[in-house]
Amino acid sequence: MSKYSEEFKVKVVREYLEGSLGYTSLAKRYALPDKSPIRQWVQAYQAFGEEGLKRKHSKQVYPVQFKLDVLHFRKQTGASLQETAIAFHMNNPALIANWNRIWQKEGVEGLRGKAKGRPPMSKKPKKTSSKTKKSLTREEELERENELLRLENSYLKKAKAFQENPNAYLEKHKQRWYSNSNKKDSK
C-alpha cells in the first residue's frame, strides 16, 4: 500500500502547478518530511498526467536488454532516477535504483528474471533405493534359516507357557519401571 493516496498527490501537484506555493512550502503545509516526493510527483504528473501518480498493482516484467539500456542511459547522461524513469516511460524510479544495485553486485546475470515461488513437483515418483542384496553362500543361508527356526521355537514356547498359566508367565516376565517420584503409592 502506498503511503499517500492518489487523490492527495493530485491535490498537492495541482496546488503546486497553480503557482501559489513552492516545494518546501507545500511540504510544510501538508507535514511531509521532505520536498523530494512533491518534486517527483510533479515531474511524473507533467510527463504522464494523473496516470503517473497511480500505483501499479501488477508487476511489469522488463527484458534484460531494456534494463541494460536504462542503466547505460543513466550512466552516459548523468540523469537522475526520476529523469531516467520519465525518459523510458516508467513511473517507478526506485526500480531503476534496484536494477543498478543488482547489476553492480551480480552483473548481467542478476538482471535476468528469476522463477518465483516453489519449483513444481516432478511427475515421476522418486525411486526408493532398495538395499542391494548380496548373494549369500549356501552356508550363510543355512545359518539364517537356523536362526529363524530358533526364534520361531522360542516364540511358540512362550505362547504355550502363557496359555497354560497366564499369571505365572506375567509375574516371571514382568518389567520393572523405576520412578524418581517420592510418592508413597508408587512402590
Residue 1 reports pLDDT greater than 50: no
The mean pLDDT value for 33-47 works out to 82
The chain-wide mean pLDDT, for the chain, equals 80
Pairwise CA distance, residues 98 & 155, whole Å:
73
Cβ atoms of residues 34 and 27 within 8 Å: yes
SS3 153: helix
* Predicted pLDDT of residue 144: 92
Report the predicted TM-score, pTM, of the whole model to 2 decimal places. 0.48
**For 125-161, what is each residue's pLDDT tens digit?**
666 655 555 678 899 999 999 999 999 998 888 888 8
In the structure, what pLDDT confidence band is assigned to residue 9 with cuts at 50, 70 and 90? confident
Residue 117 reports pLDDT greater than 90: no
Secondary structure, 3-state, 26-86: HHHHCCCCCCHHHHHHHHHHHHHHHHHHCCCCCCCCCCHHHHHHHHHHHHHHCCCHHHHHH
Cβ atoms of residues 93 and 79 within 8 Å: no
